[in-house]
Structure 1
Amino acid sequence: MFTSDEKGIIEPNSDLVAMALAVIGCIIFIALVSHVYDVYQQKSDIVQHYDDACSLAELLKTDPVFTINDRPDLIDISRLESLSSEDIDNLTSRYNRSFDFVFKFEALPYYSKVIGTAEDEGICASVPVTIKLNDVREVPGILTVKIWEK
């Protein structure tokens, strides 16, 4: 049963270490590739939702609920202060897509108002606006919209 020629005989356990290293390397490679893809998917979702937040901010910027009738580019602070919960519900239902949103008007240091309640995490976009403080004074401001998935 045994031959005296030992040139072709290998130990049965000698390639187990090499095989284990190859398997571990493949597992690490697959885990790394799946993690990179997951991060890429998250970043592309953020970019897509940022575009949604920007377009919503542009729509709210010229919404007749906030603006003056003869100047649709001017946010009236008296209209912001007189918003009722019904007006906010109408805005939410009009612009409600696959996400919820809140928005904030700022004209620092004169005025800042957040309309709605927000989740902790979300995607924000800001657009410049002009806010009418009174009949004499108009100041530059910022409209910030924060969106999150329902």
Structure 2
Amino acid sequence: MCLFINDEQAILEPHNDILATALVVIGFVIFAAVMSNAYLTYDEQSHSIENYEEASRIAESIASWDELQGTRPDILSADTLEDISYPVSDIDKHDLFFARFSTNNEFSAEVRTDDGKHHWSIHKSQTEASGNVIAASIPVIIEINPAQYTSGTLTVRLWKRYI
């Protein structure tokens, strides 16, 4: 056993250490890249889910807004939608509509009838959505006139405004 420890005739191979170190470093870099990609994907998906939930809350809030109600509380008035949709005919009502929501989020709302005959688009300005846009839709009933009701969809498109 003593000869094994005290044997000084060994061959020194410094290049093997460099190769082993390089393989370890490459493996660590690949592992770090995979982990960071997984984290970034998770972070993006969690923000998308949060934004979808917020878009859903905005859609529900719009559908239950008293100013948009028709003859019954669960029905949207086509006349009021005309007033606040683009081009805007009632600026005060349009501004009141957007004043109810946070200024950190930009959003637009669209109301369409299922038969495709009517369409209203509600947005603050002419600027288009940019970045990651999340949309949520809910079914609504629209009062075209006091004798005519039709089903439709309220869609909210939400995107973050970066200052």
TM-score, scaled relative to structure 2: 0.82
**1:40 is aligned to 2:42:** yes
> Offset of 1:97 from its aligned partner?
4.9
Whole-angstrom CA distance in 2 between matches of 1:93 and 1:13: 70
In proportion to residue count, which structure has more strand?
Answer: 1
**In structure 2, what is the Cα distance between the partners aligned to 1:41 and 1:58?**
26
| Equivalent position amino acid for 2:105 in 1 | F
* 1:2-21 alignment runs, 5 A limit: 5-7=8-10, 9-21=11-23
**Distance in 2 (alpha carbons) for counterparts of 1:25 and 1:94:** 53
1:131 correspondence with 2:153? no
Which residue number corresponds to residue 119 of structure 1? 129
Please tell me whether the aligned partners of residues 66 and 73 of structure 2 are also in contact (alpha carbons under 8 angstroms). Answer: yes
Match of 2:3 in 1: none
Structure with the bigger percentage of helix:
2
1:23 paired to 2:25: yes
What is the CA distance between 1:32 and its match in structure 2? 0.9
Offset at 1:109? 1.6
Task: Spell out the pairing of 1:10-89 with structure 2 (5 A cutoff).
Answer: 10-68=12-70, 70-83=71-84, 84-89=90-95
Structure 2 SS opposite 1:95: coil
Show CA shifts across 1:7-43 (max 9, x none): 3x32111221121111101001001101110110010
1:94 lines up with 2:94 in the alignment = no
* TM-score of the two chains, using structure 1 as the length reference: 0.88
Residues in 2 aligned to 1:136 and 1:120: alpha-carbon distance in whole angstroms = 40
Other structure's SS at 2:14 match: coil
Q: Do the aligned partners of 2:130 and 2:159 also contact (CA within 8 Å) in 1? A: no
The CA RMSD measured in Å over matched residues stands at: 1.7
Unaligned runs of at least 5 residues, structure 1? none
The percent of aligned pairs where both chains have the same amino acid is 29
Aligned to 2:138, what secondary structure does the other structure show? strand
SS in 2 for 1:71: coil
Q: Does residue 1:147 correspond to 2:158, yes or no? A: yes
Gaps of 5+ in 2: 1-6, 85-89
C-alpha separation in 1, matches of 2:15 and 2:83: 82
Matched residue count = 145
The match for 2:87 is none
Which one of 110, 117, 130 corresponds to residue 110 of structure 1? 117
More deviation in 93-102 or 36-45? Answer: 93-102
